A and B are shown apart, each in its own frame.
Chain A
């Protein structure tokens, strides 16, 4: 495989994994309106737990210390990684959703993300500190016996299958009554409460579900890059995923996947090709600058993102059979006597609501 194709395959794998991550954030922000600025911490927890369950026990003699190390196979480890991230979301949500308004909540999430990051870096026995973990076992590598490129293709395929499953899950969730009530909370939590919805548990459930997906994506990411340390999940990384979601289109999973291709992969990758001027740190920091500019432009010129939220229309066959359009050339004179009498604002003689209500069997 020529190096360029290998490079493309690498980018594609990152794009697919980020697709999973951005869809998870979409459930937080796009569906439910949760201002989650600790999203990268869920990714990290999922990544660490997946990796640490799969790794052999730590060997302090070689200067590495970490917990777990159970030699688990990949899929159970990935599942538990997702559950661990979900557990973090559950605890965070239980502590904060009841008391805090969404903007205060977002500050708390930044703080939690920073705390976790600092602890992971400094408490070396936990996840080997700032040095991080390496040698994460590659799933099914021993069974498949592929060469380096072949295995890369296999892993791309595996991630794609998981992205597909996550996408289908998220789409189904969006259109379900549960997704609808989440969007109700997003639009106006006061209305949701007034309609008898328990906003606290709804937010909590959405938070846990999104974090589970973040954990799964984190497991895929860490397994792919084979090494993971706190610099990979510093708090600002959350905003790369946010930028992807906002540029691609909040509340739209296709937009989320498009954003995953554009922001974390293409834009940040493009900064790699910037000429090395001023200082190496500047080029590294430039990706945040580029993403920041991108965010400003998005909010200014296309607040809906590149792909706007899908409007869920009623299928034609479910419309009322005797419905009479009150606008347009086909307007029919309302039948004011029949069981489906239509009251029209525009006609002088009107049937009262009572008639139609009575017929509706209420």
Chain B
């Protein structure tokens, strides 16, 4: 709150996201207590820790779903900690949810088509008049959506209501939907929770491919350590509201603090 300046420096940082000294208390409980972390541009970073460590709260603070009591969230060098959710999303920082959320009474394709930012047709008059520019943009978005559905094995379901999808398909749909917004940083909250191993592998591939082909940076909150190890070059460990360690999974396994707080003995 004491930071009135929104832009820090004009130098492009290697860090796409810098979280500085975030604090969030719920009543007497400091769920996030002086938490600082960084996410390098183009990386896939894991965020792990025991239940109640404050991982989801950090996710909510970064994406604007909660307001921090103190601290800063720098995204592309600008402080976004006070921005409303939709403004943060429009800047390219988008998230998925721990429990998948679909637009249930809309088709799978519509779920994707609703996603892109700054659609001309979302203006009342342009949408109503359906000008050539609107139709062209719709056509482009539709083709992009259909290709994504194909890549995510959802193509055959394009006209299905999202409500009729299985749990794993919902995870894929949610990821495809945020990819439609062309984000620079995707924050995934437990993307592998509750889906079968085959689909886990599929989702992991999708994340790697999106990272390579589209240059999307990922911050992934996850308990599935095998998937974290496979995907993430760097892993951040949280406990009791703050970061206690950072490194590769191999390094973290040797770290007594991490073993004590989360990984446990052998």
Interface residues, chain A, CB within 8 Å of chain B? 169, 172-173, 176-181, 183-184, 186-188, 190-199, 205, 209, 251, 309, 311-314, 318-320, 323, 325-327, 342-345, 350, 352-354, 356-358, 360, 362
Q: Shortest beta-carbon distance, A356 to chain B, in Å?
A: 5
Write out the residue numbers on chain A whose beta carbons fall within 8 Å of the beta carbon of B94: 194-196
User: Which residue of chain B lies nearest to A169 when distances are taken between CB atoms in the complex?
Assistant: B128
> Using a Cβ–Cβ cut-off of 8 Å, how many residues does chain B contribute to the interface with A?
64
Is B85 part of the binding interface, using a Cβ–Cβ cutoff of 8 Å?
A: yes
Q: Is the CB of A314 within 8 A of B158?
A: yes
Q: Shortest beta-carbon distance, B168 to chain A, in Å?
A: 9
Q: Is the CB of B130 within 8 A of A196?
A: no
Q: Is the CB of B86 within 8 A of A312?
A: no
Q: Is the CB of B156 within 8 A of A191?
A: no
Provide the bound-state CA to CA distance between A360 and B109, in Å: 17
Q: Is the CB of B107 within 8 A of A313?
A: yes
Q: Is the CB of B113 within 8 A of A187?
A: no
Contact of A352 with B142 at beta-carbon distance under 8 Å, contacts A176-B121, A177-B113, A187-B106 already known? no
Q: Is the CB of A353 within 8 A of B115?
A: no
Q: Known contacts A184-B114, A188-B102; can you find 20 more A-B pairs with CB under 8 A?
A: A176-B121, A177-B113, A177-B122, A178-B128, A187-B104, A187-B106, A193-B89, A194-B89, A195-B178, A196-B90, A196-B94, A198-B86, A313-B107, A314-B142, A314-B158, A319-B146, A323-B150, A344-B153, A353-B205, A353-B210
14 contacts between A and B (CB under 8 A): A176-B121, A176-B127, A177-B113, A178-B121, A178-B127, A178-B128, A184-B103, A184-B106, A188-B102, A195-B115, A196-B90, A345-B202, A353-B152, A357-B151
User: Which residue of chain B lies nearest to A320 when distances are taken between CB atoms in the complex?
Assistant: B146
Contact of A311 with B107 at beta-carbon distance under 8 Å, contacts A326-B156, A353-B206 already known? yes
Q: Is the CB of A352 within 8 A of B113?
A: no
4 nearest A-B pairs in the assembled complex, by CB-CB distance: A177-B121, A178-B127, A353-B209, A196-B89
Q: Shortest beta-carbon distance, B153 to chain A, in Å?
A: 5
CB 8 Å contact bits of B160-178 with A (1 = contact, 0 = none): 0100000000000000011
Write out the residue numbers on chain B whose beta carbons fall within 8 Å of the beta carbon of A323: 146, 150, 155
CB 8 Å contact bits of B195-214 with A (1 = contact, 0 = none): 00011001001101110111
Q: Is the CB of B128 within 8 A of A173?
A: yes
Provide the bound-state CA to CA distance between A187 and B86, in Å: 16
Q: Is the CB of B127 within 8 A of A173?
A: yes
Write out the residue numbers on chain B whose beta carbons fall within 8 Å of the beta carbon of A196: 86-87, 89-90, 94, 117, 181
Is B159 part of the binding interface, using a Cβ–Cβ cutoff of 8 Å?
A: yes
Provide the bound-state CA to CA distance between A352 and B178, in Å: 19
Contact of A194 with B63 at beta-carbon distance under 8 Å, contacts A177-B121, A187-B106, A199-B86 already known? yes
Write out the residue numbers on chain A whose beta carbons fall within 8 Å of the beta carbon of B212: 354
Write out the residue numbers on chain B whose beta carbons fall within 8 Å of the beta carbon of A198: 86
Is B95 part of the binding interface, using a Cβ–Cβ cutoff of 8 Å?
A: yes
Q: Which of A172, A184, A319 contacts B128 (CB 8 A)?
A: A172
Contact of A354 with B213 at beta-carbon distance under 8 Å, contacts A176-B128, A312-B110 already known? yes
User: Which residue of chain A lies nearest to B182 when distances are taken between CB atoms in the complex?
Assistant: A362
Q: Shortest beta-carbon distance, B158 to chain A, in Å?
A: 6
Provide the bound-state CA to CA distance between A313 and B208, in Å: 31
Q: Is the CB of A320 within 8 A of B150?
A: yes
Q: Is the CB of B103 within 8 A of A183?
A: yes
Write out the residue numbers on chain B whose beta carbons fall within 8 Å of the beta carbon of A314: 109, 142, 146, 158-159
Is B69 part of the binding interface, using a Cβ–Cβ cutoff of 8 Å?
A: no
Write out the residue numbers on chain B whose beta carbons fall within 8 Å of the beta carbon of A187: 102-106
Of residues 86 to 144 in B, which have CB atoms within 8 Å of A's CB atoms? 86-87, 89-90, 94-95, 97, 101-107, 109-110, 113-115, 117, 119-124, 127-128, 130, 134, 138-139, 142-144
Write out the residue numbers on chain B whose beta carbons fall within 8 Å of the beta carbon of A326: 153, 155-156
Q: Is the CB of A358 within 8 A of B213?
A: yes
User: Which residue of chain B lies nearest to A184 when distances are taken between CB atoms in the complex?
Assistant: B114
Is B147 part of the binding interface, using a Cβ–Cβ cutoff of 8 Å?
A: yes
User: Which residue of chain A lies nearest to B161 when distances are taken between CB atoms in the complex?
Assistant: A311
Write out the residue numbers on chain B whose beta carbons fall within 8 Å of the beta carbon of A186: 105
Contact of A345 with B153 at beta-carbon distance under 8 Å, contacts A176-B128, A178-B123, A320-B146 already known? yes
Write out the residue numbers on chain A whose beta carbons fall within 8 Å of the beta carbon of B65: 190
Provide the bound-state CA to CA distance between A325 and B153, in Å: 10
Q: Is the CB of A177 within 8 A of B134?
A: yes
Write out the residue numbers on chain B whose beta carbons fall within 8 Å of the beta carbon of A344: 153
User: Which residue of chain A lies nearest to B141 when distances are taken between CB atoms in the complex?
Assistant: A177
Write out the residue numbers on chain A whose beta carbons fall within 8 Å of the beta carbon of B121: 176-178
Q: Is the CB of B209 within 8 A of A352?
A: yes
Scoring A177, A327, A350 by chain B CB atoms within 10 A of each residue's CB, the highest score goes to: A177
Contact of A177 with B138 at beta-carbon distance under 8 Å, contacts A205-B124, A309-B105, A311-B107 already known? yes
Write out the residue numbers on chain B whose beta carbons fall within 8 Å of the beta carbon of A179: 127
Q: Shortest beta-carbon distance, B199 to chain A, in Å?
A: 7
Q: Shortest beta-carbon distance, A204 to chain B, in Å?
A: 11
Q: Shortest beta-carbon distance, A277 to chain B, in Å?
A: 44
Write out the residue numbers on chain B whose beta carbons fall within 8 Å of the beta carbon of A199: 86
Of residues 210 to 234 in B, which have CB atoms within 8 Å of A's CB atoms? 210, 212-214
Q: Is the CB of B159 within 8 A of A313?
A: yes
Q: Which of B89, B104, B138, B161 contacts A195 (CB 8 A)?
A: B89
Q: Shortest beta-carbon distance, A101 to chain B, in Å?
A: 15
Provide the bound-state CA to CA distance between A350 and B205, in Å: 10
Provide the bound-state CA to CA distance between A188 and B114, in Å: 12
Q: Is the CB of B105 within 8 A of A183?
A: yes
Write out the residue numbers on chain A whose beta carbons fall within 8 Å of the beta carbon of B139: 318
Q: Shortest beta-carbon distance, B204 to chain A, in Å?
A: 10
Provide the bound-state CA to CA distance between A282 and B253, in Å: 77
